[in-house]
Structure 1
Amino acid sequence: MAKFNKLATALLLSFGAVAIAPAVNAADKCPIELRKSKAMGQSTGKKIQKAFKAYGEDLFDESIAILLEANPKNDFDKASVARFLGNLYAQKEQYTKALNQLKLAADTNVLGGTEHADTLRAVADLSMQDKNYKQAIEHYEKWMTFTCKSDVKVYTLLAVAHVQLKQWDDVIVNADKAIAIADKPIKDLYNAKVNAYFNKKQNKNAIKVLETAVQLFDDDGALWRQLAQFYLATENYKQALATYDLAYKAGFLESASDITRLAQLLSQGGSGYKAAKVYNKHLKSGLIEKNAKSFKQLAVFYQSAKEFKLAADNYGEAAALDNDPKLYLKQGQFLTLSERYGQAVNAFNKALKANIKNRGAVHVELGRAYLELKQYKSAYKSFQLAMKDKKSARTAKGMLSYVKEKAKIHKVSL
């Protein structure tokens, strides 16, 4: 019966009472205050009272049937019946029928103040649910004009509807209105503004919104990550790094791509060793997949930090996983830089065995490694092989002369 009383009270206002307006200037009053209720026709009134009785006994179908038998003669009676039917259909979750009836009642525009306002709002809400965003916007705006109310939820729903219609300026306007009157910050409104500015290609404005949002919702990792990404998009690498670093320390970076991006920014900012340390930690933990690409990336970070031994080790890991001759060459070069010439020879030979294309360059590198090991015959042979490649022939020719001199000094027969 409580449900019956609530609906009955609202609907009875549409035909059983007359609103008495205070004696003030009409120009100063809101439309809802100027709207007077009307008396319903006797025949329609009886049908509605009968429908109320059935509704109070939870006989929804019977109540609907009674109302469908009504034959209202004027617009007010038609609107009253339609409004009652709309509410009944909504409670039965027959939302299309509910929307049709409530829209008929709203568009007639004759119901009493409160009833018309509630009907406009119901049409707007059901239109949103039906994804009829233009109709929802129209009726939310009619509701605000009629009631003279500024409502946070309505402005929020308007912003959402304009997002769906890609009307980005209207998204921003309505989100700002909601933000201005909200009792507490609403995250979705800031997200809507960021989305709008992004689609308007106004990244700097999106950044301003996010800079405010991360202060209001400082425990939301997604906002921090998004802010860092916008800094990257505007090539503000210093701020991007600072933001990613804060997010990392707060535990907000949870994906391999975010860790990689942080490490890359650290490396670009001159902190190659820290980049390698962060990246390696999450490579070991399994967050970053252990594949050739990952080991190659770690090698690059160590290379940036001038940790040539560690760079060589990780180029080797990457090369072994894919049998990549170019990576074996890289491994050999960094083994040479870290003065591990025997291991470098092994890496260069693996590059040749894996059919590297620029074989002449590899033979030159191999020859130099043999030279450091004082293996002059092997060095001489490597430079001879390098002579067969036009790109490396000039270098190899010079090195052959050098090897001959060294062999002569050390009395080694070539």
Structure 2
Amino acid sequence: MKKLSLISSALLVAASVSFSVPSFAQVTLTDADRARIEERKNRRTTLPGERVGRGVTRAFELYNEEKVDEALKVLLEIRGGNDFDNAFLARFIGNLYAQKDAKQAIRYLEQATKPDVLSFTDQASSLKLVADLQQMEGMHKDAIRNYEAWIRFTGENDPDVYLRIANSYYQLQDYKNVLVPIDNAIRYSKTPNKNHYMLKMGALYESRNYPKTVEVVETMVQLFPEERQFWVYLGNFYTLVEDYQKSLSAFQIAYNNGYLESEAELKMLGQMYANNNIPYKAAAIYEKYLKSGKIKKDRTMLTAIASNFQAAREFAKAAQYYGELAALTNDADAYRRQAMAFMAIQRYNDALKAFEATLARDSSNAGRVHMSMVEAYLNQGKLREAYASLQQAKRDSATARQANSYENYIREKARVKGINL
């Protein structure tokens, strides 16, 4: 879960934007700035010179006939007579190039906006367009510069622009600086936008600020309770702060609402039951979805089911799944664990078969296995068999002392019962 590759890729597709902030702590406008903005809005409209006007008109005619290349050719051959003409012309050229060549469009739009002589509306739209194109081209620092210039120029608090600034910072992996613009996007949105919260969540996660990540996702599930993935995020993020009880609660809500779909999600629910010392529910969830095919049957899952049933003292179930694990892996320890589960429910013949299967596959712990077999035989009253297993246990230095302590006991029991060992 520490990787978050799934979350990072999902939010980038969903948001189509990104973050960082050395220059962008906050675009603060003074009274003088606002006065300048109003003055720009009210400035008398400037018209291009006759030659530029005719050229632009002709280019528009060609553009309307879907002859973009021909329209560009007309515009590129025109020379303006002053700064406004040149900016006016560059803006139209940039707008046409935006449909076919982003880098050229950026070049001309930067030329158009640099002298700040266009009309208020044209200057504003050109600043935003060049920023959008720069973001598309991966020029995130330049995009941030022009988005900020747009905010200063217009004085507007557009949540989409803040989101785009945030997205560019995110792409620059300047995660800690994502927070100011994304908080502005949240603040100025008329209605909650899940993409804003997704991006904030991702930035906090990548900054390893897990407590704040949890706080954001807690807000997300309150605002967007129908978003199943947010409940999964919440359950997973609670584990990062080791709050397993809340993690289980989040996963239970998600499960009860049918939000858990993938194998990983269902496994996580089971894991949270286990982490909260509810092993029976852990095993039952694993078993249910193993049988349905949603969870793959493999060594790890069979071990989890068996061990959780054993922890829940459901020894017959534990023996069943240790048996399946043994059949799948041919592992000696799986047979030994199955045998111990059978011992717990006094199914001694089944336990002895499993112990024999253990010895057939691994003799490294033979002494301990033989001592367990001694116990199984004694519980059945089979003193000869118990004594034979005891002699095998005496050969193992790890269990020789324990076996010797049992020997007199078995001899005496046999004598009393008149059994010849």
Both proteins in one fold, TM over 0.5: yes
- Cα displacement (A) at 1:34: 5.8
Contact 2:176–2:203 under 8 Å retained in 1: yes
Tell me how far apart the structure 2 counterparts of residues 358 and 261 of structure 1 sit (CA, whole Å): 34
| 146-155 or 25-34, which deviates more | 25-34
Q: Which runs of 5+ in 1 are unaligned?
A: 1-23
Structure 2 residue 43 is the aligned partner of structure 1 residue 63: no
Which letter does structure 2 place at the counterpart of 1:63? Answer: A
Task: Describe the superposition over 1:54-76 as per-residue Cα deviations: whole angstroms up to 9, x where unpaired.
Answer: 33444322221111111224322
The match for 2:56 is 48
Question: How does 1:2-401 map onto structure 2 within 5 Å?
Answer: 27=35, 29-30=37-38, 32-33=40-41, 35-91=43-99, 93-401=100-408
Change (3 A) 1:63 1:36: same
Percentage of identical aligned residues: 36
Tell me how far apart the structure 2 counterparts of residues 45 and 90 of structure 1 sit (CA, whole Å): 21
Tell me how far apart the structure 1 counterparts of residues 107 and 55 of structure 2 sit (CA, whole Å): 20
- Cα displacement (A) at 1:322: 0.6
- Cα displacement (A) at 1:105: 0.9
Change (3 A) 1:209 1:324: same
| 171-180 or 70-79, which deviates more | 70-79
Change (3 A) 1:147 1:352: same
Contact 2:286–2:301 under 8 Å retained in 1: no
Tell me how far apart the structure 2 counterparts of residues 101 and 183 of structure 1 sit (CA, whole Å): 34
Contact 2:63–2:71 under 8 Å retained in 1: yes
The match for 1:6 is none
- Cα displacement (A) at 1:44: 2.9
Which letter does structure 2 place at the counterpart of 1:359? Answer: A
Tell me how far apart the structure 2 counterparts of residues 125 and 64 of structure 1 sit (CA, whole Å): 21
The structure that has the greater radius of gyration is 1
- Cα displacement (A) at 1:403: 1.3
Report the 3-state secondary structure (helix = DSSP H, G, I; strand = E; otherwise coil) of the residue aligned with 1:184: coil
Contact 1:37–1:112 under 8 Å retained in 2: yes
Contact 2:34–2:155 under 8 Å retained in 1: no
Tell me how far apart the structure 2 counterparts of residues 189 and 39 of structure 1 sit (CA, whole Å): 41
Tell me how far apart the structure 2 counterparts of residues 326 and 59 of structure 1 sit (CA, whole Å): 76
Which protein, 1 or 2, shows the higher relative CO under an 8 Å CA cutoff with sep ≥ 6? 2
Count of residue pairs the alignment pairs up: 390
Contact 1:31–1:146 under 8 Å retained in 2: no
Tell me how far apart the structure 1 counterparts of residues 407 and 391 of structure 2 sit (CA, whole Å): 7
- Cα displacement (A) at 1:51: 2.5
C-alpha RMSD over aligned residues: 2.0
Which letter does structure 1 place at the counterpart of 2:79? Answer: N
Tell me how far apart the structure 1 counterparts of residues 96 and 252 of structure 2 sit (CA, whole Å): 56
Which letter does structure 2 place at the counterpart of 1:72? Answer: G
Report the 3-state secondary structure (helix = DSSP H, G, I; strand = E; otherwise coil) of the residue aligned with 1:391: coil
- Cα displacement (A) at 1:161: 1.1
| 335-344 or 107-116, which deviates more | 107-116
Contact 1:32–1:114 under 8 Å retained in 2: no
Change (3 A) 1:119 1:390: same
Tell me how far apart the structure 2 counterparts of residues 386 and 346 of structure 1 sit (CA, whole Å): 17
Tell me how far apart the structure 2 counterparts of residues 78 and 145 of structure 1 sit (CA, whole Å): 23
- Cα displacement (A) at 1:265: 2.2
- Cα displacement (A) at 1:167: 2.1
Change (3 A) 1:345 1:76: same
Task: Describe the superposition over 1:296-337 as per-residue Cα deviations: whole angstroms up to 9, x where unpaired.
Answer: 211111111111121122111111211110111111111111
Which letter does structure 2 place at the counterpart of 1:201? Answer: R
Q: Which runs of 5+ in 2 are unaligned?
A: 1-31
